[in-house]
Structure 1
Amino acid sequence: MIDIHCHILPGVDDGPSTLAESLELARLAESEGITKIIATPHHQHPMFENSGPSILRKVEELNEAFEQANINLTVIPSQEIRIHGEVIQNMELGDVLPLTPQSSYLLVEFPSNGIPHYTTRLFYDLQMKGYTPIIAHPERNKVFVEKPDLLYDMVKTGVLTQVTASSLTGHLGKKVKKFTEQLIDANLTHFIASDAHNLNERPFRLREAYSVLEDGFGFDAVYQYKENAELLLDTHYVQVLPPEPVKKRKRLYFF
């Protein structure tokens, strides 16, 4: 399996604080059948600043440590980019990294409680430059939960999204699980990733998530999501089914 969103680099954000912890997390990934991880430390986050060149160095060091520890896992350098108005300029400076060195996909994170007013324009400008934004964990964004049509409008324009494994498994609560299932049902998400940070509170749960996906949506859905991760890593176009608005639950009235 391929995990396109993971905080496995040591000492750079709210993921592992030491190399030893990163190695433990890597062994857990290996036990789940994960073979490749895209490292996505927070960038332009209010609490973390991880420039492109610094991440390239950290990933090279971590891959060397895996080899020495006989861990069969490959890490690819990228970032979870907190949305900001200078994304394009910072990409041109090499400060912002796409999801793979040759790809045109960017993992973009919103604040948990909001969507900046300039988002639509920024995404349009990125797409005009040949880049495809992938919204990280929209199922955990308060605005999308309350107004899912906003996400539908973005996906209609070619924006992609990625949900978190723990959201689908129910570890982040029943409401988050329900909304995640609605996004899958409406073709409003295209990847499942771990967003793993540590061994206990925020592990991978990727294998469990694919099992839940198969139970609820069938094996074809599992194949689609796994293949999309592979296509992204190989810099190919991912599978995108026609999006639909999230179906609102009907209210029952009693007289």
Structure 2
Amino acid sequence: MIDIHSHILPGVDDGAESTADSIAMAKVAQSEGINTIYATPHHLNGRYDTEPKVIEEKVHNLNEEFKKLNINLTVLEGQEIRINGEVHEDLQNGSAISLGNQSIYTLIEFPSSHIPQFSKYTIYDLQRDGYLPIIAHPERNAGISNHPNTLYRLVKRGALSQLTAASVAGHFGKKIQKLCFKLIEANLVHFIASDAHNTDSRGFFMEEAFDVIEKRYGYGLVEQFKENAHAVMTNEMVIADPPVEIKKKGLLNIF
């Protein structure tokens, strides 16, 4: 299994604080069947800005440490990039990196309170430059929670999205879990990832999330999400059914 979103790198953001924490996270990830994990520290989110060189060095060191401990987990480079008007320029000049550092897939984070009006233009700019933006944890964004078709319009424009496993499993509450189901049923979700920060309060929950999805939608959808994560690693196109507008009385469309 491949996890495209985690904060397993030690000492760079609000994830693992030490190598010991990273090792503990790796053991839990391995126990859940994860064999490849993208380290995606925050980039320009107002608190953290981890340089690509630091990510490269820490990913190398962590992989070496896991080998010594016989932990069967490969860490790949990435970033969770806070959306801004210069994301495409940052990727072009190397101050920000895509998933795997060489792939077409970029993990994009919105502010938790809203979707910036310029987002649709940034999504266009990224695709124009050959990237495929993946919107991280849309179910935890207030703008999308209040107006789900905001995500529909972004996906219709070519964006992809990734739900947090803990959200699908219900660990962020029933309201967020219900929104996850609505987004899945509208073909607005392409990945399930952990966004793990530690081994307890912000853990992996990947197995639990896929169990929920299998019981509700069948194993075929579980396989589709797993294949999409593999497509990121091989730099191939994901499986994406046409998005469906979410019908809601009185819904205001922002975009």
> What range describes the TM-score normalised by the shorter chain of this pair?
over 0.9
Do residues 40 (structure 1) and 23 (structure 2) align? no
Moved more, 31-40 or 117-126: 117-126
Q: Distance in 2 between matches of 1:226 and 1:90?
A: 29
Contact 1:106 1:131 in 2 (8 A): yes
Quote the residue 2:166 is aligned against. Answer: 166
Quote the residue 1:193 is aligned against. Answer: 193
Q: Distance in 1 between matches of 2:53 and 2:45?
A: 17
The DSSP-based 3-state class of the residue aligned with 1:208 is helix
**Identity of matched residues, %:** 50
Quote the residue 1:181 is aligned against. Answer: 181
Deviation per residue, 1:200-237 (Å, 9 max, x gap): 10110001100000001111111100111011111100
Shift of 1:249: 7.6
Do residues 99 (structure 1) and 96 (structure 2) align? no
Q: Distance in 2 between matches of 1:247 and 1:32?
A: 36
Contact 1:13 1:41 in 2 (8 A): yes
Q: Distance in 2 between matches of 1:62 and 1:82?
A: 25
Quote the residue 2:211 is aligned against. Answer: 211
Do residues 223 (structure 1) and 223 (structure 2) align? yes
Shift of 1:60: 0.6
The DSSP-based 3-state class of the residue aligned with 2:196 is coil
Q: Distance in 1 between matches of 2:172 and 2:247?
A: 22
Shift of 1:248: 3.1
Q: Distance in 2 between matches of 1:184 and 1:68?
A: 40
Tell me the matched-pair count. Answer: 250
Quote the residue 2:63 is aligned against. Answer: 63
Deviation per residue, 1:152-172 (Å, 9 max, x gap): 111111100000000000000
Moved more, 51-60 or 135-144: 51-60
Quote the residue 2:237 is aligned against. Answer: 237
Contact 1:53 1:94 in 2 (8 A): no
Q: Distance in 1 between matches of 2:101 and 2:5?
A: 15
Contact 1:182 1:247 in 2 (8 A): no
Unpaired runs of 5+ residues, structure 1, are: 251-255
TM-score, normalised with respect to structure 1: 0.96
Quote the residue 1:75 is aligned against. Answer: 75
Quote the residue 1:142 is aligned against. Answer: 142
Quote the residue 1:253 is aligned against. Answer: none
Q: Distance in 1 between matches of 2:211 and 2:247?
A: 24
Q: Distance in 2 between matches of 1:249 and 1:214?
A: 30
The DSSP-based 3-state class of the residue aligned with 1:56 is helix
Q: Distance in 1 between matches of 2:240 and 2:84?
A: 26
Unpaired runs of 5+ residues, structure 2, are: 251-255
Quote the residue 2:253 is aligned against. Answer: none
Cα gap change, 1:247 to 1:218, in 2 (>3 Å): farther
The DSSP-based 3-state class of the residue aligned with 2:237 is coil
Q: Distance in 2 between matches of 1:249 and 1:216?
A: 25
Q: Could you tell me which amino acid in structure 2 is paired with residue 22 of structure 1?
A: S
Q: Distance in 2 between matches of 1:249 and 1:8?
A: 41
The DSSP-based 3-state class of the residue aligned with 2:30 is helix
Shift of 1:14: 0.5
The DSSP-based 3-state class of the residue aligned with 1:199 is coil
Quote the residue 1:119 is aligned against. Answer: 119
Q: Distance in 1 between matches of 2:92 and 2:231?
A: 24
Shift of 1:100: 1.8
The DSSP-based 3-state class of the residue aligned with 2:21 is helix
Give the aligned CA root-mean-square deviation in angstroms: 1.2
Q: Distance in 1 between matches of 2:64 and 2:95?
A: 23
